[in-house]
């Protein structure tokens, strides 16, 4: 897991089990204006203490279809009520997407087909956060 010191602004923590995907996603996130990636990790359970310390505005979590991933999203949402959980899933059914949203995800995107939609959501969220800051 990697992490940096908490900072003001629009902060994001990435959880992605696959190292190759995590590195690619970190590069993509670095290209989104105003998004400050404060850390990354491979597993929710391992990253949770760091997440509780950092309290990022967004937790972007890559999941693979399994009932455990819905439980992990629910745990994140319950543990970090001030953070937005965004799920990046493998192509999944609309029922699975609804399950992630019911579990507490703000958004659920297909990790390969909806990258631009994810970027747009992050840009919109960062602009909204900037307007709300004192």
**pLDDT per position as a tens digit, 21-64:** 999 999 999 988 889 999 999 999 999 999 999 999 999 999 87
Count of domains observed in the chain: 1
CATH of the domain at 84: 3.40.50.2300
List, in order, residues 6 or more apart from 40 with CB less than 8 Å away.
1, 2, 3, 13, 14, 15, 16, 22, 26
Position 76 scores a pLDDT of: 95
Q: Which domain holds residue 55?
A: 31-129
- Whether 109 is covered by a domain: the verdict is yes
- Whether 16 is covered by a domain: the verdict is no
| Residue showing tokens 């003001």 | 8
Give the predicted TM-score (pTM) of the model: 0.87
């Amino acid at each position: 897991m990697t992490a940096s010191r908490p900072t003001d602004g629009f902060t994001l923590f990435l959880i992605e089990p696959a190292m190759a995907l995590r590195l690619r996603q970190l590069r993509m996130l670095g290209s989104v204006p105003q998004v400050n990636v404060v850390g990354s990790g491979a597993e929710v359970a391992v990253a949770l203490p760091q997440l509780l310390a950092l309290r990022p505005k967004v937790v972007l979590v890559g999941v693979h279809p399994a009932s455990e991933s819905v439980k992990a999203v629910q745990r994140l949402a319950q543990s970090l009520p001030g953070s937005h959980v965004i799920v990046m899933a493998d192509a999944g059914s609309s029922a699975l997407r609804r399950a992630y949203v019911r579990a507490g995800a703000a958004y659920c995107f297909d990790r390969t087909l909806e990258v631009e939609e994810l970027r747009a959501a992050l840009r919109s969220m960062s602009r909204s956060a900037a307007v709300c800051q004192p």
